[in-house]
């Protein structure tokens, strides 16, 4: 049990490929129990986020798609309107947390030391740390920036309410077809860095159509955080998510 709140203890599994020999059946069992343990903690995380009244948003993308830049510009635009907190996930360094801290909101950096994704137990620890930061216990929006990777993070529910996958224009429009689970498991697809469209062979419609073939309910937005083009669409989505979370909370109260 967690001393802080009595919810299940974080799982203590090792990441990365197993080096010992075992039967195929055994491997499947281990994976199933790992995902089941993760799922239980994710459910508990979600309850914690809801008790606080926060909507939790998990950002997934390749390295460098613009996750932290998106958060910097979002915080600048919305920090007078909403209480925003961030859990940053990276393999190494405090750099992304430093960038967010400079914007004046509570942030915690989780470093995985090699693991290619966050899991629910790391998020659980990060959330408790964040609650101890000034302003970290009264959030409207909790952003969780996952480790840059379009594969592993898709298999781990962190307890988020909304999962977002980002692809930037320089990466090319074929990412939905090549990394389908990132798109089938997400609620929203953000095409970022559209200020670079004149310099790349990237057709927004192609990426959008491929993603919608995989997941017809996906919301798709395209914008540039740095030029500000279409950025209002993104801010409107966030306002909508916060309003829906507050409404759900008031109905449950």
Ligand X SMILES: Nc1nc2c(ncn2[C@@H]2O[C@H](COP(=O)(O)OP(=O)(O)OP(=O)(O)O)[C@@H](O)[C@H]2O)c(=O)[nH]1
Binding site for ligand X (CB under 6 A): 61, 63-69, 96, 148, 192-193, 195-196, 224-226
The pair of three-digit structure tokens given for residue 153, joined into one six-digit string: 């993070």
Nearer to ligand X, 44 or 66 (CB): 66
| Positive or negative torsion for Cα 251, 236, 119, 136 | negative
Partner whose binding site includes residue 226, from ligand X, Mg ion, none (CB under 5 to 8 Å by kind): ligand X
Strand bridging mode 84-90 / 107-111: parallel
The pair of three-digit structure tokens given for residue 142, joined into one six-digit string: 């909790």
Smallest gap from residue 173 Cβ to ligand X (A): 16
- The closest residue (CB) to Mg ion is 68
DSSP assignments along 177-210, one per residue: HHSHHHHHS-SEEEEE-GGGGGGS---HHHHHHH
Find the DSSP H helices in 195-230: 204-214
Tokens 């994976």 locate to 31
Nearer to ligand X, 196 or 204 (CB): 196
Partner whose binding site includes residue 61, from Mg ion, ligand X, none (CB under 5 to 8 Å by kind): ligand X
The pair of three-digit structure tokens given for residue 140, joined into one six-digit string: 């409207």
Which of 45, 48, 66, 67 touches Mg ion (CB under 5 A)?
67
Nearer to Mg ion, 52 or 165 (CB): 165
Nearer to ligand X, 131 or 146 (CB): 146
123 closest CA partner among 150, 163, 83, 95: 163
Partner whose binding site includes residue 66, from Mg ion, ligand X, none (CB under 5 to 8 Å by kind): ligand X
**Which one of 23-31, 93-101, 164-172, 193-201 is the stretch in contact with Mg ion (CB under 5 A)?**
93-101
Nearer to ligand X, 140 or 222 (CB): 222
Rule CB under 5 A: say whether 68 interacts with Mg ion.
yes
The pair of three-digit structure tokens given for residue 236, joined into one six-digit string: 């409107």
Nearer to ligand X, 82 or 234 (CB): 234
φ, ψ for residue 219 (rounded to 5)? Answer: -90, 135
Smallest gap from residue 58 Cβ to ligand X (A): 13
Rule CB under 5 A: say whether 193 interacts with Mg ion.
no
Q: How far apart are CA 97 and CA 74, in angstroms?
A: 15
Smallest gap from residue 105 Cβ to Mg ion (A): 15
C-alpha torsion 243→249→251→252, nearest 10:
160
Binding interface with Mg ion (CB under 5 A): 67-68, 96
């Amino acid at each position: 049990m967690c001393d802080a709140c009595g919810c299940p203890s974080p799982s203590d599994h090792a990441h990365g490929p197993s080096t010992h020999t075992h039967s195929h059946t055994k491997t499947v069992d281990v994976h199933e129990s790992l995902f089941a343990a993760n799922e239980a903690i994710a459910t508990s995380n979600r309850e914690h986020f809801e008790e606080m009244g926060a909507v939790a948003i998990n950002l997934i993308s390749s390295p460098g798609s613009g996750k932290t830049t998106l958060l910097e510009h979002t915080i600048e635009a919305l920090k007078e309107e909403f209480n925003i907190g961030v859990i940053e996930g990276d393999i190494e360094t405090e750099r992304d947390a430093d960038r967010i801290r400079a914007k004046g909101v509570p942030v915690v950096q989780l470093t995985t030391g090699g693991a290619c994704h966050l899991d629910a137990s790391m998020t659980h620890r990060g959330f408790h740390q964040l609650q101890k930061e000034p302003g970290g216990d009264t959030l409207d929006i909790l952003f969780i920036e996952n480790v840059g990777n379009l594969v592993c993070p898709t298999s781990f529910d962190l307890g988020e309410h909304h999962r977002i996958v980002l692809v930037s224009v320089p990466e090319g429009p074929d990412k939905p077809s090549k990394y389908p689970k990132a798109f089938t498991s997400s609620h929203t697809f953000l095409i970022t860095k559209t200020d670079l469209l004149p310099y790349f062979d990237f057709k927004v419609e192609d990426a959008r159509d491929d993603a919608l073939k995989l997941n017809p309910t996906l919301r798709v937005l395209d914008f540039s955080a740095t030029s500000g083009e279409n950025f209002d669409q993104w801010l409107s989505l966030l306002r909508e998510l916060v309003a829906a979370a507050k409404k759900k909370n008031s109905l449950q109260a």
